Amino acid sequence: MKIKLFLISIYLNGHKYKIFITKPTDIYHLLIFFSYQKELIIVEHNGKIHNNLTRNPKYIKQKDKIEIITIVGGG
C-alpha cells in the first residue's frame, strides 16, 4: 500500500514550518499536534479571527499565516 505525503509550508506565530500531511488538515488538528488547549487560545488565520474551529473547520493551505494568542489569567 502506497501512502501519499504532501509537503506544505505554513507560518505559525512568525516561524516557518514545513509539514508533511497525508490528507487535508484543519487548524483544530494542528493545535492538538502542538499541544495547545483550545479553550485558552484565540486563533488568527490569514488575518481573520476564528473562535469555534470544531464547528467551522478551517483547512490549512500552502503559505497560510496562523497566529495563536494564549489567554492568561491573573491579577
Task: Write out pLDDT tens, residues 24-45.
Answer: 899 888 888 888 887 788 899 9
How high is the pLDDT of residue 33? 87
Is 45 a domain residue?
yes
**Domain encompassing residue 30:** 6-70
Q: Considering the chain, what percentage of its residues have pLDDT values greater than 70?
A: 97
Is 64 a domain residue?
yes
Q: Count how many domains the chain has.
A: 1
Is 38 a domain residue?
yes
Do 27 and 52 touch, CB atoms closer than 8 A?
A: no
How high is the pLDDT of residue 63? 95
How high is the pLDDT of residue 18? 94
Is 75 a domain residue?
no
Average pLDDT over residues 8-20: 94
Cell digits of residue 54: 470544531
Q: How far is CA 72 from the centre of its chain?
A: 20
Is 1 a domain residue?
no
Do 6 and 22 touch, CB atoms closer than 8 A?
A: yes
CATH of the domain at 27: 3.10.20.30
Q: Dihedral, CA atoms, 5, 9, 10, 12, nearest 10 degrees? A: 100
